[in-house]
Structure 1
Amino acid sequence: MNRKILFVINIDWFFLSHRLPIALKALEQGYQVHVATGISDKMAELQAHGLIVHPLPVTRSHVGIGEIVGLLIRLWKLFREIQPDVVHLITLKLVVFGGVVARLAGVPVLVSALPGLGFVFISRGIWPAIRRKVIGVLFRVALGHAHGMVICQNRDDLEMVSRLARLPAGRLTLIPGSGVALDQFVDTPLPTGRPVVLLAARMLIDKGVREFVTAARAFHVRTNGQGTESPRFVLVGAPDPGNPASLTRQELETWAREGVVEIWGKRRDMSKVLADATIVVLPSYREGLPKVLCEAAACGRPVVTTDVPGCRDAVRSGVTGLLVPARDSGALAEAIGRLLADPILCARMGRAGRRWAEEVFDVHQVVAAHLNIYERLQNDVGSP
């Protein structure tokens, strides 16, 4: 009988964009692969890859008692019915609740992946602080599986989870992101003509979209005063209504009418989009390890991003890009201006980015690291 692996993730499109290569490699190695996920419109696409899909009653916005109870019951039933050899939980909410249920249900091997510590760890005020305290307590239960491994994408998250969950070093590991297909995201020369400054992300407040627009306005005013043409500032991505930090379509449309930024919307051809960019920008408040910055490096594009967990791990400061403080549109505009004024520096950083992507972000390395974890933990279960 084939060994079974069950991925548990909050939404289907995120699995396709960030975890599909791991699932396909597991299929290739003889696993029966199940995916429990919130469903948008991607179920047929998941099933077409040979994955067994189980709808999951989970949202990414406010967590109510009713949702928590429904989620716990559904996870318990899935764990007992599927009898997976490995459960791989992804995202904070599912790591916490799924980890508790997995221990109660006797799941043999538990892998808990934290792509980033999320909204609650960057929110300010007393209630987020209280929630962080509660999460710390839950971590100690959810991540205490005898044959478990916690995967973080940056060192800040690794250290915080280790401290909150009080886990020994051997129970945590660092895997830098979800990897980049280096044969699809290829190094191309920087485009000629009017420079394109690109931010590609979900249109969320905490991605720094408003700071990007403010920086774009500063360039627009400055260049108009000098009688020169400003760079093209481009937003790629769409609002995410399931996220409490989502911007509205009305806000994006207002910026587009203002003429300071271009709105390209959600795109599936990101390799082409990045090839059209001169500089890639992500002024986020916190990340796991932003895939777009890894892809930008693979395409030979210099980046400007914030000196925060996750973002700074995707850049070699001064070598592949520049770091600026979060929530600082002035510093962001200054860094963008520095790169635009020095095409030689842009090209040098782009070349260095491609070399770094080949060393660190290759999707084959990331996939192999995950499969090795599954094998090692299963071997530990069978050891005397």
Structure 2
Amino acid sequence: MKAVLFANTDWYLYNFRRSLALSLQRQGYDVLLISPVGPYGDKLRSLGLRWEPLPMARRSLNPLRETALLWHLVRLLRCERPVLVHGFTIKCAVYGSLAARLAGVHARVNAVAGMGYVFTSPQVKARLLRPVVRGLLHLALGGRNARLILQNADDVALFRQAGLVDPAHIRLIRGSGVNCAQFAARARTKASGDGRMRVLLASRLLWDKGLDEFVAALRQLRLQGCAVHALLAGTPDPGNPAAVPEAAIRGWVEEKLVTWLGHVDDMAGLLGSVDVVVLPSHREGLPRTLVEAAACGLPLITTDVPGCREVVTDGVDGLLVPKGDSGALAHAIRRLLEDPELAHRLGEAARLKARSQFDERIVIQRTLEVYAELCDPSAVPAESSL
């Protein structure tokens, strides 16, 4: 059987779904990965995976360009004739599912990690797009041969309330999976020459990841005389309207608030060198960074919002703070600085939780079970076109 995995960046496919693709190959699937062009396509190919670029612009709203993309996908799927198309993120879910229906593909699986810019941003542009996207989602996600994978219970409740999909077709799979053994093996190699606690925020550099609150908390800690070494890993995402300008990041560096590491390939090594990981995000699907940090046995500080609270239970395996509250974030960092025994206890509990709930073997097995629901080889008629 052939499966197509469709994402809005090749970076996402490489970093979040290559283990799934390789596992599918071992299961006997013929796998095709598709995304806009990027530097990770060749890395996917070097693993023995087939990847093809798409003429897709993530931020495009041009009707002609978007229609051309949809028909490109339809022609591709008609040529490839997969049994299943699996789309990641909202735009890929919509376009992939519509193209699959038009091409007569039997099964459609969509994994939506959070509600994305359109549903979370207060900007006028996002609010205007919201009803249009809702309508497209209802059209794309419906049908008896479709399944929607969500990463947290809040999103499950939201999609059910919105009536975007038959609740019986929703599956909860927490995250994209992390190789916990790999991260545990690299844990605790840290050494900070100046003795300060090393606090890391690693994410795409978007405002809705809580960058403003993080910087404000660091300023407060400085005024309080708390010595921490703040590290910022990641790069701005020019394809996202919430991207933090590089000039702002360089300003924080000049202010000596953060050390900006840029893109980091060896996350296991980086996490093994720090003491605390924070993610003051406004909303998530299920944040991989927190799971990777948990697998390393690190204490976590994050916001009490959907996705983040799936990973952290306050006071048990991390600390939760209110969204947008830089004072609470500063207090939580200082609490771990002043109570190393608490930090150690939270980190050990986080490690156990990561291994039991978020390991990639669990996520891949659950995903294969969803595929099996739809792809019984004894009954694979083409679904009728729109």
C-alpha distance in 1, partners of 2:64/2:205? 28
Which residue of structure 1 aligns with residue 325 of structure 2?
Answer: 328
Instruction: Check the 8 A contact 2:142/2:166 in 1, yes or no.
Output: no
Which residue of structure 1 aligns with residue 211 of structure 2?
Answer: 209
Instruction: Check the 8 A contact 1:190/1:278 in 2, yes or no.
Output: no
Kindly state the Cα deviation for residue 185 of structure 1 after the two structures are TM-superposed.
0.7
C-alpha distance in 2, partners of 1:245/1:190? 34
Deviates more, 1:292-301 or 1:95-104: 95-104
Which secondary structure does the structure 2 equivalent of 1:104 belong to?
A: helix
Instruction: Check the 8 A contact 1:301/1:350 in 2, yes or no.
Output: yes
Instruction: Classify 1:67/1:328 alpha carbon distance in 2 versus 1 (closer, same or farther; 3 Å).
Output: farther
Instruction: Check the 8 A contact 1:147/1:381 in 2, yes or no.
Output: no
Which residue of structure 2 aligns with residue 264 of structure 1?
Answer: 261
Instruction: Check the 8 A contact 1:139/1:164 in 2, yes or no.
Output: no
Kindly state the Cα deviation for residue 104 of structure 1 after the two structures are TM-superposed.
2.1
Kindly state the Cα deviation for residue 245 of structure 1 after the two structures are TM-superposed.
1.1
Please say if 1:371 is aligned against 2:373. no
Where in structure 1 are there 5+ consecutive unaligned residues?
224-228
Instruction: Check the 8 A contact 2:106/2:380 in 1, yes or no.
Output: no
C-alpha distance in 2, partners of 1:205/1:381? 49
Which residue of structure 2 aligns with residue 22 of structure 1?
Answer: 20
Matching of residues 85-100 of structure 1 within 5 Å: 85-100=83-98
Please say if 1:303 is aligned against 2:321. no
Please say if 1:253 is aligned against 2:250. yes
Instruction: Classify 1:381/1:333 alpha carbon distance in 2 versus 1 (closer, same or farther; 3 Å).
Output: farther
Q: Deviations over 1:301-324 (max 9, x none)?
A: 111111111111121221111111
Kindly state the Cα deviation for residue 125 of structure 1 after the two structures are TM-superposed.
4.8
Which residue of structure 2 aligns with residue 341 of structure 1?
Answer: 338
Q: Deviations over 1:357-381 (max 9, x none)?
A: 1110111111111112112211287
Which secondary structure does the structure 2 equivalent of 1:186 belong to?
A: helix
Matching of residues 103-182 of structure 1 within 5 Å: 103-182=101-180
Please say if 1:36 is aligned against 2:34. yes
Instruction: Classify 1:110/1:383 alpha carbon distance in 2 versus 1 (closer, same or farther; 3 Å).
Output: closer
Kindly state the Cα deviation for residue 54 of structure 1 after the two structures are TM-superposed.
1.9
C-alpha distance in 2, partners of 1:372/1:191? 39
Instruction: Check the 8 A contact 2:234/2:261 in 1, yes or no.
Output: yes
Q: 1:195 is matched with which residue: 191, 197, 203?
A: 197
The letter of the residue matching 2:311 is A
Q: 2:316 is matched with which residue: 315, 319, 322?
A: 319
The letter of the residue matching 1:23 is A
**What is the aligned-residue identity percentage?**
41
C-alpha distance in 1, partners of 2:199/2:287? 17
C-alpha distance in 2, partners of 1:106/1:215? 52
Which residue of structure 1 aligns with residue 222 of structure 2?
Answer: 220
Which residue of structure 2 aligns with residue 360 of structure 1?
Answer: 357
TM-score after normalising by structure 2: 0.93
- Pairwise CA RMSD: 1.8
C-alpha distance in 2, partners of 1:190/1:332? 26
Instruction: Check the 8 A contact 2:298/2:347 in 1, yes or no.
Output: yes
Instruction: Check the 8 A contact 1:212/1:332 in 2, yes or no.
Output: yes
C-alpha distance in 1, partners of 2:52/2:155? 29
Where in structure 2 are there 5+ consecutive unaligned residues?
382-386
